[in-house]
Amino acid sequence: MLAPGILQDQIEQNSFAHPALRGANQLPIGKYMQTVALMHPVGYYDPFEQAAAPELVHPLFSQPLVELSLRLPSYVLTQGDHGRALARRAFASDLPPQIVNRCSKGGMEEHIKAVLHANIDFVRGMLLEGELNRRGMLARAKVEELLSGRPTALPGLVSQIHGLVAVEAWLSRWTR
C-alpha cells in the first residue's frame, strides 16, 4: 500500500531472513506460514518478570509433533474452508457446535476486520485525504481499491491498514 519510491529504499531483506527461510519461497503459503510461526513461538510471560518466571516449556513443539504438522498437507488442515479443520474434527465431541462449525480460527484478525468495516468511511477519508497521501507515500489507487468495499485480488492485510491509520493519526496530530 506504500508508494513504489518508498519501497525502493528498503535494505536487502534476505540478509535478515532466517537461513531456513532463504529457499522457502517454493513452499505453499500455508507451509511457509507454519514454518515462520514455529521460528517465533508466542511468549507467555511478562518480559519484566522473566527472571523470576519458571522455565518456558512448549510441549506442542516436541520434534515428533512439529514433524507431523509440517508433513500434513494444508488442504487436510483446512478441509472445507475451515481453519483448523483437522483439530476441530478430532475434538468435535468436546467442543461447542459453534466452534466446530465456524470457518475462521476465531482470532483477533476477525475482530479488527469487523472494526475496520464498521469504520470504513472514516478510514477511507483519513487515509485518502491525510498526510501520508499528501506526501506521496501511499499507492493511492491500491488504497482506494482496498477500501472500496468491493471484492479485490489485491493483497492487503487488515492489520496493515490499521497500521497506516495509526501512523496517519500520529502524523496528523503532530502536523496540526
Same domain, 114 and 150: yes
Clarify whether residues 89 and 152 are in a common domain: no
Measured CA to CA in angstroms, residue 44 lies from 22, 39, 52, 62, 105 at distances of: 28, 15, 13, 17, 20
Regarding whether 94 and 113 lie in a shared domain, the answer is: no
Q: Is the pLDDT of residue 125 over 80?
A: yes
**Co-location of 113 and 153 in the same domain:** yes
72 belongs to a structural domain: yes
Together in a domain, 97 and 112? no
Q: What is the DSSP letter of 167?
A: H
Answer whether residue 132 shows pLDDT above 90.
yes
| 150, 108 contact by CB (below 8 A) | no
DSSP string, 89-152: HHTGGGS-HHHHH-SS--SHHHHHHHHHHHTHHHHHHHHHSSHHHHTT-B-HHHHHHHTSSS--
pLDDT at 46 over 80: no
For residue 55 the three cell numbers come to 522455565
pLDDT of residue 84: 79
Same domain, 153 and 95: no
Contact in structure between 116 and 158 (CB atoms under 8 Å): yes
Q: Are residues 120 and 166 in the same domain?
A: yes
Considering the domain architecture, whether residues 92 and 116 belong to the same structural domain is answered as no
Is 64 domain-assigned? yes
Angle between the N-to-C axes of helices 29-39 and 63-71, in degrees from 0 to 180, rounded to the nearest 10: 160
Domain that includes residue 163, residue range: 108-175
Considering 68, 101, 134, which residue would you say is the last residue of a domain? 101
17-41 residue pLDDT tens: 777 777 777 888 788 888 887 777 6
Cα distances from 129 to residues 46, 139, 146, 170, 176, in angstroms, run 39, 13, 15, 14, 14
Residues 93 and 118 in one domain: no
Over 60: is that where the pLDDT of 11 sits?
A: no
Please give the mean pLDDT across all residues of the chain: 81
The whole-number average pLDDT for the span 119-132 is 94
Q: pLDDT tens for residues 57-81?
A: 778 788 898 899 889 888 888 787 7
9 pLDDT above the threshold of 60: no
| Per-residue pLDDT band at 152 (split at 50, 70, 90) | confident
52 and 117 belong to one structural domain:
no
Task: Evaluate if pTM is beyond 0.85.
Answer: no
Tell whether 164 is covered by a domain: yes
Residue 121 lies in a domain: yes
Q: Is residue 128 part of a domain?
A: yes
What's the domain count of the chain? 2
The pLDDT of residue 104: 67
CB count within 10 Å of CB 89 equals: 14
Assess if residue 70 is contained within a domain: yes
Residue 134's pLDDT is 92
